[in-house]
Amino acid sequence: MVFYLHDNDLDLLDYNIRLVNDWQYPSEDLRIIKHDWETINKKIKDGKAHELSEGDTFYLGACTKGSTALKSFRNQPFNEEKAKQRAYSLKQGYVNHIIANISQEETETYGKIIERPEILDAVQSIEEIVISKFLPFYGKSAKEIEKYLGLELNQKAKSYFANLTNAILGLKLGQKIEEFEKADIQVKTIRLSENNLPKEDISFPTFEFQELIKTDWEDSDFKNILESKFFFVFYQYENDDLILKKVRFWNMPQSDISEAKIVWDKMIEAVSRGLIVREVSDIGIRKTYFPKKTENRISHVRPHARNAADTFMLPIPDKLTKLTEYTKHCFWFNASYVRDEIFMK
């Protein structure tokens, strides 16, 4: 494996080589990669090549290829609908793992779910292994799980549920889950009200306004988020207790990704035209042109900052206020979408 520093201003032969070493796949990784290949293969045989997504698999992805969106479409063998051209690829998280392994970076921060590779031969997938570890705790409160596992955690700490998840999976507190890191899995702990509606919408990292309009959809962070594989852990309030209801691996269907893209498109249009603030109330509250929760079934955009002074630069000054920077925002999943399409299904 040869890793080099990419530089558009240099000739290929002048690239700075940073890391060189051999690499051999661990046997448990090969088992997971084989299952990923079978998942991709089955979807094609089922006539669903147009529904392939990076989130379908763990380590081996089916990434899109083609110089433009229109040129990337190809005929598929078991359906008349055209599908995007794709190629096998290792997930970014897995490549990062290879780099860390070759460079002999600190590995004590990682813990494995699968300590014995042969366990993958006895079950269908890594998903079943993970879910089987949570099943005995369904219907138990977080406090009861904590007590059963012999833990004394700070329930007010931000890391509380992450530590509880680690303990259930048999990892040390504070460790990163190696298999999840390799697969770029996003872990989300959701607290539900009694009506099954999440207490909060789900936020994602803030975006920079200037970078947002420079980036093509295919390379956008939002598209990468939508195509991720998620691991949801659902707790529900019963009086003052949080009860573990279920866990679920999930990735967004292609049809929903297309629907969520509308939110991204509206943001690009608004920011690129300098249409940020729609009106300012008498007490100084700013209302924006950004997509609201009522406008899209899946996603919306709203602030995600410490305060109004926590800002990013705008590529074009706002037409109404003439502001050249604006409060940090991010994309959110609607709580109702999480309830209806992830928890209830």
* Predicted pLDDT of residue 125: 79
What's the rounded Cα separation, in Å, for the pair 281 and 262?
A: 28
Checking if the pLDDT of 317 tops 70, the result is yes
Mean pLDDT of 177-204: 95
Mean pLDDT of 302-323: 96
Q: Are 177 and 53 in contact (CB under 8 A)?
A: no
Mean pLDDT of 192-196: 95
- Radius of gyration of the chain from its Cα atoms, rounded to whole angstroms: 22
Checking if the pLDDT of 282 tops 90, the result is yes
**Run of H or E including 73:** strand 73-76
Mean pLDDT of 248-256: 95
pLDDT, the chain, mean: 93
Which residue in this structure is represented by tokens 């709203």?
302
Q: Which of these ranges, 35-44, 66-75, 103-112, 305-314, has the smallest mean pLDDT?
A: 66-75
Checking if the pLDDT of 67 tops 60, the result is no
Half-sphere exposure of 102 (CA within 13 A, CB side): 17
* Predicted pLDDT of residue 104: 81
Q: What is the pTM of this model?
A: 0.91
Mean pLDDT of 293-316: 96
Structure tokens at 16: 């700075």
C-alpha of 130 from chain center: 18
- Identity of the residue numbered 208: E
* SS3 track for 130-162: HHHHHHHHCCCEHHHHHHHCCCCCCCCCCCHHH
Cα torsion angle, 151, 155, 160, 164, sign? positive
* Predicted pLDDT of residue 118: 60
Checking if the pLDDT of 220 tops 70, the result is yes
Checking if the pLDDT of 68 tops 70, the result is no
What's the rounded Cα separation, in Å, for the pair 208 and 271?
A: 11
- In tens, the pLDDT along 107-139 reads 668 888 887 666 666 556 789 999 999 999 999
* Predicted pLDDT of residue 3: 95
| Confidence band of 103 (pLDDT split at 50, 70, 90) | confident
* Predicted pLDDT of residue 80: 95
Bridge partners, 76 (sequence order): 79
Higher local confidence (pLDDT), 118 or 162: 162
- Which among 273, 278, 284 has a CA at the least distance from the CA of 320? 278
Give the SS3 label for residue 114: coil
* Predicted pLDDT of residue 123: 59
Bridge partners, 325 (sequence order): 313
By 3-state DSSP, what share of the chain in percent is helix, strand and coil, each rounded to 5? 35, 25, 40
Higher local confidence (pLDDT), 336 or 66: 336
What's the rounded Cα separation, in Å, for the pair 204 and 210?
A: 18
Mean pLDDT of 203-218: 95
Mean pLDDT of 85-93: 94
